[in-house]
Amino acid sequence: MHREVLPSFFVQFECDIDASITPIGRVIAFLENYGFDQTESGAWEVAIQEGVNNAILHCELDKNETPHPIAIEVMVRPDYVEVLVHDHTQGFSWPISPSLPSESSEDGRGVYIIQQLVDDSDYLRGTHSNRLILRKNRTLPSELKEEEKKWKDRLKTIENQLDETDKALNSTQEELFSCYESLSAIFQFGTELGKQGDIKSFADRLLKQLIPIMGANGYLFRTCDENGSVIRTYSRSSDSLDPSPLNWNAGKAKHFLESQSIVIRKDVLRDTDLEKLEEGDPLIAFNSKFIQVHPIIIGEEMIGVLSVGSSESEQPFTSAQTNVMHTFAHFLALQLVNVTRQEERIEFGKISKELEIAQDIQASLLPSKWPEVEGYTIAGKCNTSRNVSGDFFDVIYHETDPDKVLLVIADVMGKGVPASIFAAIFRSLVRSSTELFEHPAELMRKLNRSMFQDLSGVDMFITAQIAYCDLRHRIMRISNAGHCPLLLTSKDETMPITSHSPEGLPLGVVKQPELEELEIDVPKGVRVLMYTDGIVETTTQMVGNELLGQKRLVHWFQDARSVDQKASAFQRSLEKLLRATSEDQLKDDQTFILLVENG
Amino acid sequence: MNFESTSERILVLGIKELTSANAAAVKDDVRRCIRPGHRALDIDMSDVRILDSSGLGTLIALHKFMCQQNGLVRIMNPTPIVEQVLELTRLHRLLEITRQ
């Protein structure tokens, strides 16, 4: 608190008349410094001198005894001046009404003079010391009174400012203390979280710590579900609080305190004495006079709502307590988000691992070795744009006749896991249908029958091409279900490249599709290319970052047919063409099969 | 302290204060300067800053001394505080105050 500092002066000197001259002069100088005129200060000088005279006069000492010093103390007050003269003499009786001695008497006037010069005087006589008290009222001149009033007003203003500063300092101190407490708690719990990683029990302990800091008697912390319409109870201070989730934007709940806070995205404060809560509001269970609800938002996302009810306090929460609440809530929300993201990362890692396994399984379903068919080489490749593919190819050899080969290529609409599942089913069905090995159209119809319901149920379809090759009799039977055409040519440069695509709708589109079967002769030095649309729809630097397209593919095939003697050589050449894609990642799966006759 | 003396009058000048510190000395010095023919002792108190009861005692003693030789003491041009003390103690009736 501000304390007024008033002028005062103290001086001490030996119990001797000569030694008193300078100190008394200093006292007078002090008074004159505070606006005393010569008349006033002169009267004081006489009165003090008389007091000192008496002290020295009544000093009776034994032999070898040193006299105690005399002290003068002066206090200047707005309305009066008080002077104390302290001595350690035997003292004397202070006359209540001193009278003057006869005119001819040379002494005995000191006390009389003192009492005439001051308004009030007294002499307190003690065992070892005495005190002469002199008091004289001050009457300030009018101009000085005006000045005094101005200074008093100014002093009052300064005192008010000091009081305001005091309050601000107290408030700041309280805020700092609260911040310290909250930070301390957060650090403590943050360390625990790092050790234990149990976010739920961490939240319970953190929020219980909030209760004493806020002087509260209850809290309820709810988190939003994925679509944000329902908030679920995550932590509560007491079992008396209803743990049911709150659908904040439905029915009566729209008027509840937590709902209001979510809608306006700001704190809601309520003095329940002045404004009652809506019937059924879960926060009624706080039984608190003051309730504060804080929506927790990170970025634009509503994470949850923290509600706190005050205890017996008659005062609403202070700004410092509110700040603590916000800090705790934000910190907790960040931990929740971190944990959720960590869980998502773990889940993503699991999925990635599963996809890798699926990719390995799918790769194992594709032919990797090419048993030699006398006089022919076969190659194939499936480049996937994702971990798993909807493209599929297979090369199936006749169980008993090594000159008979079934070439199968298919493209399931879409990519990723769903497409790969259908590709795997497709493969199994083909492999299990050996009775239709030599009749690709029939095989295609069977595949459609088997898969139609599943494919149409999820609005998916499969394009496919199956080519049965009897290489001893040099015939090929082809069935096509909406797939890219089969390209056929010969090493003989005079033979044109022919494109074969018998009529047929993709599998899964109609229940009983019309599927043609085309039989063609296999020329000497034959070269066959079967491919998916990912091949021709890729952009490649080899052709100025344009789509490769079927024409350019045919052109490449034409150039390669006389140069490359084996399927593996064709494969390397084609992959070189495809590798020059302008983008790092494939937009679509790329699959092809090559059948090349030696020589 | 200075003295100016004629056959009937002696003038004391230059007293700055008259208190217990110097009252006895002033009394003795002035007495030594007074001659039998002196009828008036004029004390110039225009420079006296303080006069206390001891100083008053000196003035009374000098007054009695002058009375013995049919003389008198006059306080000349006293300062306000001197005049105030003299009046408070009624000695302005005993000691003649003059102004020049």
A321 touches chain B (CB under 8 A): no
Pick from A118, A112, A116, A148: nearest CA to A133: A118
Pairing of the two strands B9-13 and B40-44 = parallel
- Residues of B within 8 A of A116 (CB-CB) are 88
The predicted complex's ipTM stands at: 0.86
List the pLDDT tens digit at each of the 599 positions of chain A: 444 567 889 999 998 888 999 999 999 999 888 888 888 889 999 999 999 998 888 777 766 777 788 999 999 887 889 999 998 888 888 888 888 898 888 888 999 999 999 999 999 988 778 899 999 988 666 666 677 778 888 888 888 888 888 887 777 666 666 666 666 666 666 666 555 557 788 888 888 888 888 888 889 999 988 777 888 899 998 888 888 899 888 888 888 999 999 999 999 988 888 888 888 899 988 888 889 999 998 888 888 999 999 866 667 788 778 888 888 888 888 888 888 888 888 888 888 887 777 777 777 778 877 767 888 999 998 887 766 677 889 999 888 888 899 999 999 886 677 788 888 889 899 999 989 999 999 999 999 999 999 888 888 899 999 999 999 999 999 999 999 999 999 988 888 899 999 999 999 989 998 999 999 999 999 999 999 988 888 876 666 667 788 888 888 888 888 777 788 888 888 888 777 654 555 667 789 999 999 86
Q: Class for domain A194-342, per CATH?
A: alpha beta
CA–CA distance, B25 with A342 (Å, rounded to integer): 105
| pLDDT at position A195 | 56
Q: For A390-441, what is each residue's pLDDT tens digit? A: 788 999 988 888 889 999 999 988 667 778 888 888 989 999 998 999 999 9
Q: Return the residue in A22, A36, A49 with the most chain B beta carbons within 10 A, the one to mutate for interface testing.
A: A49
- Residues of B within 8 A of A54 (CB-CB) are none
| pLDDT at position A104 | 86
Q: Where are the domains of chain B?
A: 2-98
Verify whether the Cβ–Cβ distance A42 to B88 is below 8 Å: no
- Write the residue in A39, A45, A53 that is nearest to B53 by C-beta: A53
Please tell me the number of Cα atoms within 13 Å of A465 on its side-chain side. Answer: 27
Architecture of domain B2-98: 2-Layer Sandwich (3.30)
* 3-state helix/strand/coil string of A367-428: CCCCCCECCEEEEEEEECCCCCCCEEEEEEECCCCCCEEEEEEEEECCCHHHHHHHHHHHHH
Q: Per the CATH hierarchy, to which homologous superfamily does domain A8-139 belong?
A: Histidine kinase-like ATPase, C-terminal domain (3.30.565.10)
Distances (CA, A) of A57 to A15, A178, A272, B20, B38: 10, 66, 79, 10, 34
- Write the residue in A17, A18, A109 that is nearest to B89 by C-beta: A109
CA distance A86 to chain B (A): 19
- Residues of B within 8 A of A109 (CB-CB) are 53, 56-57, 89
Verify whether the Cβ–Cβ distance A38 to B19 is below 8 Å: no
Q: What is the DSSP letter of A507?
A: B
| pLDDT at position A506 | 92
Verify whether the Cβ–Cβ distance B53 to A50 is below 8 Å: yes
Strands laid side by side in the A70-76 sheet = A8-13, A70-76, A80-87, A130-137, A120-125
| pLDDT at position A184 | 64
- Residues of A within 8 A of B19 (CB-CB) are 17, 49, 53
Pick from B35, B10, B18: nearest CA to B79: B18
Q: Return the residue in B16, B22, B54 with the most chain A beta carbons within 10 A, the one to mutate for interface testing.
A: B54
| pLDDT at position A460 | 86
Q: Return the residue in B81, B87, B94 with the most chain A beta carbons within 10 A, the one to mutate for interface testing.
A: B81
A456 touches chain B (CB under 8 A): no
Verify whether the Cβ–Cβ distance A42 to B49 is below 8 Å: yes
Give the number of other Cβ atoms within 10 Å of residue A83's Cβ.
23
CA distance A18 to chain B (A): 6
| pLDDT at position A444 | 95
CA–CA distance, A506 with A587 (Å, rounded to integer): 22
| pLDDT at position A350 | 82
Verify whether the Cβ–Cβ distance A45 to B21 is below 8 Å: no
Verify whether the Cβ–Cβ distance A113 to B54 is below 8 Å: no
Radius of gyration of chain B (CA): 12
| pLDDT at position A71 | 93
Q: For A464-498, what is each residue's pLDDT tens digit? A: 999 999 999 999 999 999 999 999 999 888 888 99
CA–CA distance, A382 with A394 (Å, rounded to integer): 10
Residues 115-154 of A with CB under 8 A from B: 116-117
Q: Per the CATH hierarchy, to which homologous superfamily does domain A368-597 belong?
A: PPM-type phosphatase domain (3.60.40.10)
| pLDDT at position A564 | 72
Q: Where are the domains of chain A?
A: 8-139, 194-342, 368-597
CA–CA distance, A368 with A380 (Å, rounded to integer): 8
Residue of A nearest to B56 (CA): A106
| pLDDT at position A107 | 86
Verify whether the Cβ–Cβ distance A100 to B50 is below 8 Å: no
- Yes or no: say if A302 and A327 are a contact pair by the CB < 8 Å rule: no
A499: exposed, middle or buried (C-beta count within 10 Å: 0-12, 13-18, 19+)? middle
